[in-house]
Amino acid sequence: MPAFSRRYWTVWAATLVFFGAFYTLIVPLPLYLDQIGLPDWQIGLILGAFGIASLLGRPLAGALSDSLGSKPVILFGTASLLVGALGVSQTVWPPALFGLRILQTAGYVAFTTASTALIAQLAPVARRGAAIALFGAAANVAITLTPAIVSAGLDLLTLRGAFWLCGGLALAAGLLVWTAIPNEPSSSRRRLAMWEVLTPPAPLRGPMLTTALFGIAFGAFYSFLPLLAERRGLEPVGLAYTVYGGSIIVARLLTANLLDRPDRTAVLAPSLLIATSGLLGFAFADNWTLLLVSAALMAAGSGVAHPALIALCVDRLPDNERGRATASFYLAFDLGIGMGNWLLGSVLGSFGLLWMYLLAAAISLVGVGSTGLARGKVLRGM
């Protein structure tokens, strides 16, 4: 494992705790909304506020990270999640719950954008790919463990107790960053004009296209796997997510050093091909063995492609625009997942699971072909 600074590992630990907080909401939030008697359409509307906040918040979080420094944006993210989680247990009014979900997502958007930019700053330039890959493992550990633990202990914890646990973990993440990470010098900051905030940087358009296509493929796995398991009699689906979580952690640890080669795009096509094979497996999965193997293949491909694309975006902008670079990646990835869900959902309704996953695999192959566009001028150490 590469040796990084104490500050790097402090941010890593804070990220693990933050994602533990965020994923604490996965199980209890829908249950709470159902328990207070909201109709299904209102539950979907509230949970769907995630996409709105992500789309609007990514460019802003990136710009603020570059102009104010990463630390205050990270702290805003922890405070926003804390308030958004604790407030849920205090209201049953749908508009207020919608606003609180926006706050939760704003916290997620701010924290992930700014913390990734900070990790890119803290890591040596030559080890940037490995640093981002290992950093991503913090979120993978959290999603592998947190929902299962919360679900198993929910009777004792209670729904309201889960919201307070989320708030407490968010506070702990904020305190870690507050006490251990210094403020960045103002000389390293850059203020962006509004048109720059809203316009994708030209050097990143190739990587962003590949990222969006990868997001569509990832969304096919992440969003529709429960339906696959239900309709093909492969429940409970939690085991598949556990296999995915464990496999992606292993993939990141084993391949982190591969991301530090001079041309990071060399790992993109093979990793996306592996993810494509996972999607093809899901298309035909009618038994546990094929389902779990497909989940592991999806994890292996995603575990390499995700950090490689982040590193490519950071490489192609000056150091004082790291926030803009990471925001551009996450914006393309989020849009890919969201728009892909609309497209794939319509295909699912008309043609079924088989053709939906075959389409997702075809889109992933287009992503493989687009990796050539991800090559570009690298600006390292500026």
Calculate mean pLDDT across residues 191-207. Answer: 70
Q: What is the DSSP letter of 91?
A: -
- The answer to whether 118 and 81 are in contact (CB under 8 A) is no
In terms of Cβ atoms closer than 10 Å to its own Cβ (0-12, 13-18, 19+), residue 252 is buried
The more confident residue out of 119 and 183 is 119
66's tokens: 């570059």
- The answer to whether 315 and 380 are in contact (CB under 8 A) is yes
Position 184 scores a pLDDT of 67
Residue of 118, 106, 110, 108 lying closest to 12 (CA atoms):
118
Q: Within 13 Å of residue 108, how many CA atoms lie on the same side as its CB?
A: 28
Distance, in Å, from the CA atom of 311 to the CA atom of 264, rounded to the nearest integer, reads 8
pLDDT band at 320 (very low <50, low <70, confident <90, very high): confident
Position 286 scores a pLDDT of 92
Distance, in Å, from the CA atom of 327 to the CA atom of 57, rounded to the nearest integer, reads 9
Calculate mean pLDDT across residues 219-247. Answer: 81
Distance, in Å, from the CA atom of 106 to the CA atom of 79, rounded to the nearest integer, reads 10
Position 382 scores a pLDDT of 42
| Residues contacting residue 39 through CB under 8 Å, at least 6 positions apart | none
Same fold, 1-185+195-199 and 202-376: yes
The more confident residue out of 381 and 331 is 331
Calculate mean pLDDT across residues 287-309. Answer: 94
Hey, is 197 helix, strand or coil? helix
Report the amino acid identity of residue 321: E
- The answer to whether 22 and 166 are in contact (CB under 8 A) is yes
Place of tokens 């004009």: 193
Position 68 scores a pLDDT of 87
| Helical H segments across the chain, by residue range | 6-23, 28-35, 40-47, 49-68, 70-88, 94-122, 128-152, 154-157, 159-180, 194-198, 205-231, 238-255, 268-284, 288-315, 322-351, 353-370
Give this prediction's pTM: 0.80
Q: What percent of the chain has pLDDT over 90?
A: 43
- The answer to whether 312 and 371 are in contact (CB under 8 A) is no
238's tokens: 């939690």
Say which CATH topology domain 1-185+195-199 has: Growth Hormone; Chain: A; (1.20.1250)
Query: For residue range 67-113, what is the model confidence (pLDDT) as tens digits?
Result: 888 999 999 999 999 999 999 989 999 999 999 999 998 999 999 99
Calculate mean pLDDT across residues 192-207. Answer: 71
Q: Among the listed ranges 145-154, 179-188, 326-335, which one has the minimum average pLDDT value? A: 179-188
| Per-domain boundaries in the chain | 1-185+195-199, 202-376
Position 1 scores a pLDDT of 47
Has residue 45 got a pLDDT over 90? no
Residue of 270, 260, 40 lying closest to 128 (CA atoms):
260
**Tally of CB atoms within 10 A around 147:** 20
202-376: CATH class: mainly alpha
Query: Per-residue DSSP letters for 214-275?
Result: HHHHHHHHHHHHHHHHHHTT---THHHHHHHHHHHHHHHHHHGGGGGSS-GGGGHHHHHHHH
In terms of Cβ atoms closer than 10 Å to its own Cβ (0-12, 13-18, 19+), residue 346 is exposed
| Max CA separation in the chain (angstroms) | 59
